[in-house]
């Protein structure tokens, strides 16, 4: 437990951290990656360049300073970060590196005096212990399950399937031919990519896009114009190639009971965790299943044929599609998802809502759900990349 003096000192620095803004975490990352360049093989440098990772860390640091006397408030954030860390295989030793550069950054930018540095060292030590303990629990729980492992494991690509103009699925089977650990629909796996064309190893997390089967994993990846990893997967990873995977992780997953109505809402490649959920519950979910998806057009509509098949086979599945561009190939609504267009079809008081897609899209959906009276405990979402609060 922290002393009251430490709590008071750290909390008093919250306004200084707020004033520094993301410049604080920019200095931190620049310092750490300069002194410890081996960490470039772990951190997503694209998120560094865009500033999204720095913003996410700033929000975490500021949140910790502001709520240090009530760390229970931060536990949902801790769980989200801890899950992500296990897909990077973060170690206790790396927390020491991070701590040393965080304290140095506070000292160099703020010159707050030794008492503040000592208080932050104590506070960071407690937080690091919380993360290390939780992450070790996840590591142990995963490797103790049938088909589980710690670290990375070699898999080979056994299928590569074009799902749309921009989305391709990859199915992986373990090289050792043993079983693979299960997962909760909505979770992701970490993939470790290395190439002579890369300056550093690239690690990415991609949502699993199929129901668990104990034998293989499937991810479905959108080719991004400037995406180092996605372009490498689309252009250079083929059937027969091997990759290293971290075990499934993530705190966004299906929890709805079969007798509760559910709505699965997505845009673009946000369809991937929704597909895992739908494939997992088809035939067993007794309540209505509402499938809402937005795409630019039918050519960019991932899993279109499979969704048509599932709609024909599943009597309680209702599918709604929105396209930005007019398309005569498939029945669809126009423009952005407008929940008022299907207002009479959904029980807004009893349905659980899961959604994934670009942040602007999810903000658009969340705003509509709240306006329709949906309670926050029925709203579940996942951000690709650093987490953002909607």
Active site residues: 95, 135
Q: Is 374 annotated as a binding residue?
A: no
* DSSP secondary structure letter of residue 73: G
| 385 marked as binding residue | yes
Q: Does the annotation place 139 within a ligand binding site? A: no
Structure tokens at 312: 């024909």
Do residues 235 and 221 lie in contact, with contact meaning Cβ atoms separated by under 8 Å? no
Summary count for the chain: helices (H), strands (E): 12, 12
Is 273 annotated as contributing to ligand binding?
Answer: yes
Q: What is the DSSP string of 225-293?
A: TT-HHHHHHHHH--TT-EEEEEEEE-S------TTS-EEEEEEGGGHHHHHHHHHHHTTT--S-EEEEE
Number of CB atoms found within 10 A of residue 175's CB: 12
Phi, then psi, of 188 in degrees rounded to 5: -130, 170
223 labeled binding residue: no
Q: Cβ distance 177 to 242 under 8 Å?
A: no
Give the Cα separation of 158 and 238 in Å (integer): 8
Instruction: Establish whether 111 is an annotated binding residue.
Output: no
For residue 181 the two structure tokens come to 């650990």
Alpha helices in 4-113 (DSSP H): 4-12, 14-20, 22-35, 45-50, 52-66, 75-88, 92-110
Whether residue 170 is annotated as binding a ligand: the answer is no
> 356 a known binding residue?
no
Check whether 86 is labelled as a binding-site residue: no
Q: How far apart are CA 361 and CA 85, in angstroms?
A: 26
CA 73, CA 60: separation in Å to the nearest integer?
Answer: 12
**Is 270 annotated to bind ligand?**
yes
- Annotation-wise, does 85 bind a ligand? yes
125 is in an annotated binding site: no
| Distance between CA atoms of residues 198 and 44, nearest Å | 12
Known binding-site residues equal 85, 188, 204-207, 268-273, 383-386
Binding residue numbers for FAD: 188, 204-207, 383-386
């Amino acid at each position: 437990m922290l002393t009251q003096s430490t709590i008071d000192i750290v909390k008093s620095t919250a306004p200084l951290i707020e004033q520094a803004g993301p410049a604080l975490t920019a200095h931190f990352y620049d310092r750490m990656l300069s002194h410890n360049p081996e960490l470039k093989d772990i951190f997503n440098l694209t998120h560094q360049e865009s500033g999204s990772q720095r913003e996410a860390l700033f929000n975490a640091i500021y949140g910790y300073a502001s709520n240090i006397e009530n760390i229970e408030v931060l536990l949902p954030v801790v769980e989200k970060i801890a899950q992500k860390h296990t897909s990077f295989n973060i170690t206790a030793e790396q927390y020491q590196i991070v701590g040393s550069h965080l304290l140095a950054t506070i000292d160099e930018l703020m010159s707050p005096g030794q008492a503040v540095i000592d208080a932050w060292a104590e506070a960071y030590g407690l937080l690091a212990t919380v993360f290390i303990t939780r992450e070790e629990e996840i590591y142990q729980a995963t490797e103790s399950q049938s088909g589980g492992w710690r670290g990375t494991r070699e898999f080979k690509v056994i299928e590569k399937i074009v799902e749309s103009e921009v989305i391709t699925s990859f199915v992986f089977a373990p090289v050792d031919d043993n079983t693979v650990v299960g997962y909760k629909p909505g979770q992701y796996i970490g993939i470790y990519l290395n190439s002579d064309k890369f300056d550093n190893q690239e690690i990415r997390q991609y949502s699993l896009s199929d129901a668990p089967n104990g034998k293989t994993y499937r991810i479905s990846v959108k080719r991004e114009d400037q995406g180092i990893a996605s372009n490498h997967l689309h252009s250079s990873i083929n059937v027969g190639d091997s990759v290293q995977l971290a075990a499934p992780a993530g705190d966004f997953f299906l929890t709805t009971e079969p007798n509760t109505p559910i709505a699965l809402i997505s845009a673009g490649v946000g369809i991937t965790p929704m597909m895992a959920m739908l494939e997992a519950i088809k035939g067993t979910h007794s309540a209505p299943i509402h499938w809402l998806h937005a795409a630019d057009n039918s050519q960019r509509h991932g899993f279109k044929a499979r969704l048509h098949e599932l709609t024909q086979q599943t009597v309680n599945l209702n599918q709604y599609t929105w396209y930005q561009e007019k398309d005569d190939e498939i029945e669809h609504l126009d423009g952005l998802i407008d929940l008022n267009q299907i207002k009479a079809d959904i029980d807004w008081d009893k349905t659980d809502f899961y959604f994934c897609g670009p942040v602007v899209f999810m903000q658009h959906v969340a705003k509509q759900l709240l306006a329709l009276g949906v309670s926050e405990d029925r709203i579940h979402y996942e951000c690709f990349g650093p987490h953002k609060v909607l």
